[in-house]
Amino acid sequence: MSLFQPPLFLERCQAGFPSPAAEYTESELDLNNYCIQRRSSIYFVRAIGNSMLDTGLHSGDLLAVDKAEQPQHGDIVIAEIHGEFTVKKLLLTPRPGLQAMNPAYPTLWPYPDNLQIFGVVTAFIHKTRERD
């Protein structure tokens, strides 16, 4: 089975007017290399809900999560609180918290002993059109 690697164009795509240089390709795009830094520590999970809309993350999107990444302030993480998993923006100051990126949802301020991080979201894939 051969791996499909579509072309990656050299020119960036303006979110406005099309570029006349669309025929110049840089290389082939390998989504494994683009989304995955360490194969042994990556897993994928599908998002559900709307608490992260302001980051462009929608319900149904596929998340690439690296469990070996050291979580840093501002990272989007997969966390577990009281037996439930959630995807949120990690706050480390003034104290550990999980910030929703949608004003309709509150920031969570769990006790540090009740918060476990299961990985840092390194990429997400958002389909703009569903296929049958």
Q: Is 88 a residue of the active site?
A: yes
Tell me how many degrees the CA angle 6-35-131 measures, rounded to the nearest 5.
55
Q: Is 51 a residue of the active site?
A: yes
Active-site residue, selected from the candidate residues 51, 59, 67, 127? 51
**Which tokens sit at 114?**
């009740």
Active-site residue, selected from the candidate residues 40, 88, 89, 127? 88
Alpha-carbon separation of residue 64 from 1, 19, 60 (angstroms) = 23, 30, 13
Q: Which residues are catalytic?
A: 51, 88
